[in-house]
Amino acid sequence: MNRSPAARLEDRLGPDEPPYRSRGEAQVGRLLDRSGIPFCYERPTLIYDRGRLTTWHPDFVLPTYGGLILEYAGMMDVPAYAAGIRHKAGVYAANGIPARFVYPSDLHGPRWPQRLVARIRAAGEQARDGYAPELSYG
């Protein structure tokens, strides 16, 4: 493994990093880590959906933020994917699970890390207080 300062972050992290499924998830996970926000990646979560209990694996569960779930929604331009994200949002709300969705546009622009962390912390405070944050659909 190359440990030189010029090596890509992905190469330096190697086996210490979860096996993220997308570049966007990796950006979110690294931001949470750098910001000192503990998270579980794809932790099995019991969900009541379509009349039965099932196990989902949310992208990020933030245990110290009232169990807030963060889902990276990277392909909202694909109609079937967008419909699935809307379904997830509704199911989380129906189960009383606080959830926020992170979109590719949230990971760009000046000071995006600070803005996203502020949004996550605010949603986490609401979740700890027992208030399910308003869901957005990007």
pLDDT digits (tens, 9 = 90+) for 108-138: 989 999 999 999 988 888 887 765 544 444 4
Within a domain: 9: no
Which residue positions in the chain have pLDDT lower than 70? Answer: 1-17, 130-138
Q: Considering the entire predicted model, what is its pTM?
A: 0.78
Domain-embedded: residue 40: yes
Buried b (16+ CB within 10 A) or exposed e, 7-22: eeeeeeeeeeeeebee
Domain range for 103: 22-128
Asked if residue 4 belongs to a domain, the reply is: no
Q: Is 45 inside any structural domain?
A: yes
> What's the pLDDT score for residue 15?
56
Q: Within a domain: residue 49?
A: yes
The confidence score (pLDDT) of residue 7 equals 55
Q: What percent of the chain has pLDDT over 90?
A: 67
Domain total for the chain? 1
Mean pLDDT score of the chain, rounded to an integer?
84
CATH number at residue 102: 3.40.960.10
